[in-house]
Amino acid sequence: SQQGEEDPQALSIQEGENATMNCSYKTSINNLQWYRQNSGRGLVHLILIRSNEREKHSGRLRVTLDTSKKSSSLLITASRAADTASYFCATGGSNFGNEKLTFGTGTRLTIIP
Amino acid sequence: DTGVSQDPRHKITKRGQNVTFRCDPISEHNRLYWYRQTLGQGPEFLTYFQNEAQLEKSRLLSDRFSAERPKGSFSTLEIQRTEQGDSAMYLCASSLMDTEQFFGPGTRLTVL
């Protein structure tokens, strides 16, 4: 079963705009990760945030985590056509994210050139 | 290419047939995972290995499913007596003890 849900299910924005996706989950976690999946390709790990962290940055990505609300958000700034993909949040059972992952339902992001 | 590889990339079979998929992890990774992904959904965990030991199996993994990692390197996932509901993308991932999981391209199974 899915641990959580991403919101929105689908998002279309103009190239250069920022994209924000949200993830809600149900149970206590040790960490939360975001993955990207391009059409017909495997999942690519983007960023991991631990339960004792509130915000993390990686290039154009910014992730926040609110454990009291059991929610996370992924912000992609200055979007590019290559960012078109599905984005999934996943919760892991260990501090390092190396045990089984429980994924959300995903947000399909389309960047319009 | 030193990433996770999976073979075959696509498999079409008739209901009732057996199928076997192979996953070759990144060479130094001691953990290997199998997930299943259906259209429009996120991946769902099936099972994982640490070296050759199968440490956890999901309830999704019915008796028709079996996975092995005989020498702690590559892994196989076999589905016996396939059903149409088995149609999905089967994803393999690998990791070290303290790193993120790296995913392969997946094997897309279609059961007719």
Contacts of B41 in chain A (CB under 8 A): 2, 105-106
CB contact burial B79-91 (16+ within 10 A = b; e otherwise): beebeeebbbbbb
Type of residue numbered B94:
S
What was the pLDDT predicted at B98? 67
Q: How far apart (Å, rounded) are the C-alpha atoms in residues B36 and A57?
A: 30
pLDDT digits (tens, 9 = 90+) for B3-22: 999 999 999 999 999 999 99
pLDDT digits (tens, 9 = 90+) for B51-95: 999 988 998 788 999 999 998 899 999 999 999 999 999 999 999
How many of the other CB atoms lie within 10 Å of CB of B103?
Answer: 24
pLDDT digits (tens, 9 = 90+) for A28-76: 888 889 999 987 678 999 999 988 999 999 999 999 999 999 999 999 9
Q: What percent of chain B has pLDDT over 90?
A: 79
Q: Which residues of B touch A (CB under 8 A)?
A: 4, 31, 33, 35, 40-45, 48, 56, 58, 91, 93, 95-106
The DSSP symbol for A94 reads: S
Closest C-alpha to B4, from B31, B36, B38, B39: B31
The DSSP symbol for A27 reads: S
Contacts of A102 in chain B (CB under 8 A): 45
A42 and B91 in contact by Cβ < 8 A?
yes
